[in-house]
């Protein structure tokens, strides 16, 4: 079973670790990733939700961003949820901020409104038989997909999940539910 790294700089990384543990996969090894050296043995990485400006600045400062870019070009599966998807995007509308420039997409931050407008609803993700509960907290949307980036889920006509080869981005937080199907699916990339 793969060793999974969860970027643990800031945000809800602990919830992803717990979700991976709930997958109950024998010998699954989950590691916190903070610096490039932490990527040495991982076979997959999750970039959790959090504050993209802060995390981007720290990734750049400590070289983790460059290391993730290099690993992505080598085929490492990487999944970004909410902030993670923002950091993975090649363009963020109306913002000049650090980007990993991995997903060939444009995103709009806080597209559903402020924190008080957070909500949960069902989202059908291509590749899963049944809808998952999407937890949307200051969630971004994808306003443009280019190249090999393909929408795999929409909500109310807006793209909320994309896949580009070994890269996955979701604007919602599956780790905040008891449903581990997206985590299982990602482990199978």
Identify whether 173 is a catalytic site residue: yes
- Give pTM, 2 decimals: 0.94
**What are 122-158's pLDDT values in tens digits?**
999 998 889 999 999 999 999 999 999 999 999 999 9
- pLDDT, averaged across the chain: 93
Q: Which domain holds residue 75?
A: 3-187
The pLDDT of 160-168, averaged and rounded, is: 97
Least confident of 53-57, 75-79, 103-107, 134-138: 53-57
Catalytic residue among 21, 173, 183, 184: 173
Identify whether 175 is a catalytic site residue: yes
Catalytic residue among 3, 37, 70, 82: 82
Contact 64, 8 (CB under 8 A): no
Identify whether 82 is a catalytic site residue: yes
Q: Where residue 2 falls among pLDDT bands split at 50, 70, 90? A: low
Q: Provide the number of structural domains found in the chain.
A: 1
Least confident of 53-57, 146-150, 178-182, 183-187: 53-57
Q: Where residue 95 falls among pLDDT bands split at 50, 70, 90? A: confident
Catalytic residue among 14, 70, 175, 183: 175
CATH number reported for the structural domain that contains residue 105 in this entry: 3.40.50.880
Q: At what angle do helices 64-73 and 52-62 cross, to 10 degrees?
A: 90
């Amino acid at each position: 079973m793969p060793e999974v790294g969860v970027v643990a700089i800031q945000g809800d990384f602990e919830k992803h670790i717990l979700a991976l543990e709930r997958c109950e996969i024998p010998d699954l090894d989950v590691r916190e990733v903070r610096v490039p050296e932490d990527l040495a043995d991982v076979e997959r990485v999750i970039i959790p939700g959090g504050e993209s400006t802060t995390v981007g600045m720290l990734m750049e400062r400590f070289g983790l961003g460059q290391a993730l870019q290099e690993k992505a070009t080598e085929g490492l599966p990487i999944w970004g949820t909410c902030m993670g998807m923002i950091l993975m995007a090649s363009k963020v509308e109306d913002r000049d901020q650090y980007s990993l420039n991995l997903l060939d997409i444009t995103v709009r931050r806080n597209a559903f409104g402020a924190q008080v407008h957070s909500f949960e609803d069902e989202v059908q993700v291509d590749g899963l038989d049944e809808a998952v509960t999407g937890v949307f907290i200051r969630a971004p949307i994808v306003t443009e997909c280019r190249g090999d980036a393909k929408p795999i889920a929409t909500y109310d006509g807006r793209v909320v999940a994309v896949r580009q080869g070994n890269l996955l981005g979701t604007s919602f937080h599956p780790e905040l539910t008891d449903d581990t199907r997206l985590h299982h699916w990602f482990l199978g990339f």
